[in-house]
Structure 1
Amino acid sequence: MYREATVGVVIPAYNEEGFVGDVIREMPDYVDRIYVIDDQSTDGTWDEILDAARADHEERTGSPPPIADAHDRQRDDGEPSDQPRADGGPEALMNRAVVHDSIGRVLPIQHRENMGAGGAIKTGYLAALEEGVTATATVDADGQMDLSQLPRLLDPIVEGAADYAKGNRLLDREYRSAMPRFRFVGNSMLTFLTKVASGYWKTMDPQNGYTVISNDALEAVDVENLYEYYGYCNDLLVKLNVNEMRVADVGMPAVYGDEESSIEYSTYIPNVSMMLLRDFLWRLRTKHLVTDFHPLALFYLFGAGVAGVGIVAALWTLVNAIVRSGSVLVSTTASFLVFALGVTLLLFAMVFDMAESEHLERQYRQ
């Protein structure tokens, strides 16, 4: 336990042989439960998970895990079975994964099919919800996350200051300098898009997968319907905002080693961008039109519409001028004024949005 709170850690693993074992073995002693999800790896990841779990148990207890602890199902002849337990846990969890019996504090889970990083996180969250863990962290299996920083993410949760805490590699210059430039540029763009979509305007580095979430927040966000691609962390922020959950942005350094990213940017960028647009519209409708009313929703919608009309009018004027070789000055000026009005309305919407969620955000520097 950590400060009288039970702690679970979700580790999504896909082809992380050579990394995931170290992450399991180096997990702090105060962590009560480790949910390791093998997302249909094609290398030796699964065997490494089991070996590391046994080593972790032996190091903590001084003895190897008993057979009954690893396999509690019985065959007809009464001998222990080596088959995974598939008859426990919530239905949503069992439909997507095979939950093996615990090896000490490690709960090994195998996906029935590859579901991506977000899908593995979702599986771990479902398991944590089933066991009622107070605070559930997410830690990548590639060793990029400094486990000594975990208490800084746990503190806002156990102190009741936040419902969700996440790492932020952009908060301080010394942290930003450790990030490769191409990652920094892409991260900055996604940060802005996520600010607009989620309403958390002070929160940065939304792609950071080093997080801790409270049990109350997990129950509020409808885990079963979370996005399952790499944009799961962006999607989660939107759902947290709609449920008025407090978010803590915790500054911490980035760690990069020999691991290789499995992200395919040709599909990642358009998929996450479309997801953020859908989430943005859903947030406006759910939080500011249906559940309650706030004029920022109308400013956003009318602003985008007016700006769009201005752009279309400008393009039509340009095409018309090329075809007819006429003057475009007056029409262009009118189109620009319409566009400027739309942008002004959007800026007003953003100002309202920032003020509306300001009480839900906190930042923790080193």
Structure 2
Amino acid sequence: MEYAACSHKGGGLSSVRRRAAAFLDNLTGEENPGTIARQNSITKWTNIGDEQCLVGDFKARKGDSNEAAEARLCALTAFEVARRLLDENDPQCEEVAARIEAGIQCLEVAPANIERVKIASCDCTELLAYYVPAGNHDLPTPAVICISMEDESEATLLARLLPAATNRDMSLLVVSHRDVSNPARGLSQALLSSCLDYLSARPDVDAARIGVYGEGMSAALATDFAASDRRLAAAVCDGGLWHWTRMRASVVWMSRIADEPEDGMVSAHRSQLMRRLRCPVLVVTGGRGVVSVSEAMKLQTECIEERIDLDLAMPRMIKSSGGSIENFVTSDDCILGWLKQKLAFNAAPSSQQTDLPDINAQVLGP
């Protein structure tokens, strides 16, 4: 088996991820859900994942735990490609989700050592999360609190990020949007601060190098969290643009004023929340996110003028009748690469240009 055999060679995971990235880059908008080409691709990537699971089981029986873990990470990447291709109402979604869940369960043993942890929250309840320690156990390492999109579980996000996080010497604490989002003012920030408290107390985590990463609506949660808790060292968030856009729409609706506010006033309001952040920020714009490209670029221009450390990332998206498909491989590599850079011991100050990893679309630094 071609794809199973690649796990026996060096660079098995990197090979599968390169193949996945190239496949997603070469998708065309004509490959819509339900077409023969799309179904063939779903079957292909599901089969690749199944083959890698068999390799993982075989290696585990032989006692090769590292190679077994690598094969299972290859499987998670393949299943994620298949999941992206599926229409959300397709019955196959449940089958792929079950495969992903089984893959996570297999990795909850050495050497991955994925932990299911309970975090005491501010309202005396317990918050469940996944914790993935960094590979380096000699020194405390950076850590990132990762918040899933509103319509995805923490297990789904973990399965996608695990292959990308390999060998980055960063620990991950993965939580679901559902568990940390709360309409009560300040409660979401308090819940996320409990997560930060948990990480800060761990001996394998450097408390001075903890970041946050929010996807979709969780990007707005990450912004509020970074503005309220100065302990964070980096944030992948929306830069306050969701709140700004919502507030602007409400004002226009209530006042029935068609005229746009003056540019200076718009600029001041748009960058108001960013001034409260004291850590480097990466705003992921376009695609399935909540931030428009035009507003993000205006915000970046204003941040450059005020010497605020903000970068933009714009993942490559393929448009089809079933929605947009993101090249998650290059996107995740870019985001985790940016976090590793900003959480490094000698991170570049905000006044300097940083060399960001390639996202295969465009990453704009100040």
TM-score (norm 2): 0.30
Q: Which has the higher strand share?
A: 2
TM-score (norm 1): 0.30
Structure 1 or 2, whichever has the larger Rg, is: 1
